[in-house]
Amino acid sequence: MSEGPVARLTRRTAALWLVMAAALVPLAAQDPPPPQQSEQRIGVEVNLVTVRFTVKNEQGQLLNQIPKEDFRVFENAKPKDIAFFEGPHNPTGEASPILLAFLLDVSGSTFATRSEEIIAAQTFFDNIHQVTQVGIFGFTDKLIVFQDFTGDRSMALKAFGEARQHLGRTAIYDSLDDLIARLNKRAKPTDRKVVILVSDAVDENFAKSPEVLKKAKESRVNVYTVLVPSAAQLYIGSADGPAESQVADVSKGPREAAFARLATETGAKHFSGFETILDFDETLAQINDDVYGNLYSIGYYTDDPYLAKTEREISVQVRRLDARVSSLFKNVPERLTEKKKFIAALFDAQALGRLSETSRARFEEIGAELDVLPATREGAQMGLPFRVKISPFTLAGLTKSGVKSQFGVIGILLDERGREVVRLREFFRVSLTRRELQDGRGIMYSNKLIAPPGRYEFKLALLELSSWKLSSFDSDVTIGDAQ
């Protein structure tokens, strides 16, 4: 997990838009049967799995002094040796009453991370102290109350899951100001006040930050900030020269710095980087442990680091009849080292430039096929059309009513010396009803790369944003009359 400004997902190199890819053309077509899921295995740095959890008795009281010898950990029903063990930082389990508010950006620009947030929230709520009152709030141009402060965890979780996209501009500081006022009105003198703020930091009124920060400090509110990617941060371009989009992004650095200071200057922590969006579970685990200090940590080495999280059943048992282990925060290898390179390329121009340096790791987590079509003349250069046919039956967004999902596409052409010639990066959405699926309608993405005649290596990655499932392609292509 990257914390603080390290590996900040929004840093970019300047880029000259020498070539623009053709507009996205989603077409209806007969979808081929899902291909067999065969995957080339790739190396990972470690095969260490870590889990974090609380232990409570039947009355819900925390049991924070259980020794290592009383725990056993299992993966897919097989016992594992405990490689490391750490008890809770708060040995007594005692805590002052807490008002804890989630403040979620629901303006529409952060849709790519909502699924991760909802899944992780369930584990978070199962591990919070019983003295906590939780409120779920959102914001666009104003504060939205999805659930006022409650001790009922199920009501809070339901509200968290229903905090969906709303229309409106992003007003972080006005909304936080209103939430602080609500906290002050509700809190008793002995109550702690905590806000977990999730946003892309895109608020043009970030000049209000010092005023709101002062109010948070005077009110003794700890503001944990989680920076997530914005759909507005995506663009298409090539590697060198000043970007035409640079003027629009001139305040990007100050906006993010102001957002981070909300955490660092109120005694909390700021989270950013690609691990934050890839494993939101771990982000909330760190916040949970920082606020309460009640988490046990256990690590073990897995025999299969390539096993998907959904296929890895992990359980922890404790040798006390009155003890119950909570839901587990899980941090598994799951090929993150290689996968991050592709996902990073969607949100960071520096990472996109480094995509040419990646290994030939292949991912086939989505049923998809790449067709490279005959090149066409585009003035002095050539266009290389291509299309990707996607099976809806392999998508996380498939339900009984149809399929709704969002995708990111990245692609580059490399010349025979491995130098990048052109790149593309784009979002597109898919929505098919159950009837359309029954009628055989499928999903197709079409685009075109412009380059001089020659021989190239074509790299392309297709990412389903709601699940981080990835399929990648690598093909040698010839454009024009190259011999």
Three-state SS sequence of the chain: CCECCCCCCCCCCCCCCCCCCCCCCCECCECCCCCCCCCCCCCCCCCEEEEEECEECCCCCECCCCCHHHEEEEECCEEECCCEEECCCCCCCCCCCEEEEEEEECCCCCHHHHHHHHHHHHHHHHCCCCCEEEEEEEECCCEEEEEEEECCHHHHHHHHHHCCCCCCCCCHHHHHHHHHHHHHHHCCCCCEEEEEEEECCCCCCHHHHHHHHHHHHHCCEEEEEEECCCHHHCCCCCCCCCCHHHCCCCCHHHHHHHHHHHHHCCCCCEECCHHHHHCHHHHHHHHHHHHHCCCEEEEEECCCCCCCHHHCCEEEEECCCCCEECCCEEECCCCHHHHHHHHHHHHCHHHHHHHHHCCCCCCECCCEEEEECCCEEECCEEEEEEEEEECHHHCCCEECCEEEEEEEEEEEEECCCCCEEEEEEEEEEEEEEHHHHHCCECEEEEEEEEECCEEEEEEEEEEECCCCEEEEEEEEEEECCCC
Domain 336-479: assigned CATH number? 2.60.40.3880
Across the chain, mean pLDDT equals 79
Least confident of 10-14, 200-204, 352-356, 412-416: 10-14
Label residue 176 by pLDDT band (50, 70, 90): very high
| pLDDT higher than 60, residue 293 | yes
Does the pLDDT at position 341 exceed 50? Answer: yes
Most confidently modeled range among 2-11, 128-137, 340-349: 128-137
Maximum mean pLDDT: which of 12-21, 34-43, 101-110, 210-219 = 210-219
Band (pLDDT 50/70/90 cuts) for residue 258 is very high
Rounded to whole angstroms, the Cα distance separating 472 from 365 reads 9
- Does 303 have pLDDT greater than 80? yes
Residue the block writes with tokens 């941090």: 331
Question: Mean pLDDT throughout 425-433?
Answer: 87
Query: What pLDDT was estimated at residue 390?
Result: 93
Provide the residue ranges of all domains of the chain, joining segments of one domain with +: 48-331, 336-479
| For residues 219-237, average pLDDT | 71
Give the burial class of 6: count Cβ atoms within 10 A of its Cβ; 0-12 exposed, 13-18 middle, 19 or more buried.
exposed
What radius of gyration do the chain's Cα atoms show?
24
Pairing of strands 192-199, 98-105: parallel
Which of 154-163, 215-224, 272-281, 467-476 shows the lowest mean pLDDT across its residues? 272-281
98-105/132-139 β-pairing: parallel
CB 427 within 8 A of CB 407: yes
Q: Please check whether residue 142 is in contact with residue 168, taking contact to mean a CB–CB distance below 8 angstroms.
A: yes
Amino acid at residue number 285: A
Q: How confident is the model at residue 467 (pLDDT cuts 50, 70, 90)?
A: confident
pLDDT the model gives residue 350: 64
To the nearest whole percent, how much of the chain has pLDDT over 90?
42
Higher pLDDT, 181 or 245: 181
pLDDT at 237 > cutoff 50: no
Residue 287 burial (C-beta neighbours within 10 Å; 0-12, 13-18, 19+): buried
What's the mean pLDDT in 455-476? Answer: 86
Six token digits for residue 225:
């900030």
Model confidence band, residue 357 (pLDDT cutoffs 50, 70, 90)? low
Which range has the top average pLDDT, 16-25, 163-172, 228-237, 449-458?
449-458
CB atoms within 10 A of CB 91: 12
Q: What pLDDT sits at residue 474?
A: 87
136 pLDDT more than 50: yes
* CA distance linking residue 423 with residue 404, whole number of Å: 27
The pTM of this model reads: 0.70
**Distances from the Cα of 297 to the Cαs of 82, 271, 427, in angstroms?**
10, 20, 38
16-30, 235-249, 301-315: least confident range: 16-30
Range from 55-69, 296-310, 345-359, 380-394 carrying the lowest mean pLDDT = 345-359
Instruction: Return the closest-CA partner of residue 132 out of 84, 86, 187.
Output: 187
Residue 349 confidence (pLDDT) above 50: yes
Q: Give the residue-averaged pLDDT of 73-88.
A: 96
pLDDT, average across residues 82-104:
94
pLDDT grade for 228, boundaries at 50, 70 and 90: confident
Closest CA to 245 of 420, 424, 11, 15: 15
What is the model's pLDDT at position 9?
A: 24
Q: 48-331 has which CATH code? A: 3.40.50.410
Question: Which position has the higher pLDDT, 260 or 6?
Answer: 260
Q: What percent of the chain has pLDDT over 70?
A: 76
Q: What's the average model confidence in pLDDT over 59-85?
A: 95
Helix axes 209-218, 252-264, angle to 10 degrees: 0
Q: State the pLDDT confidence band at 101, using cuts at 50, 70 and 90.
A: very high
Distances (CA, A) of 357 to 123, 416, 470: 37, 14, 18
Looking at the predicted structure, is the pLDDT value of residue 11 above 50? no
Instruction: Place 232 in a pLDDT band, splitting at 50, 70 and 90.
Output: very low
* pLDDT: which is higher, 1 or 338: 338
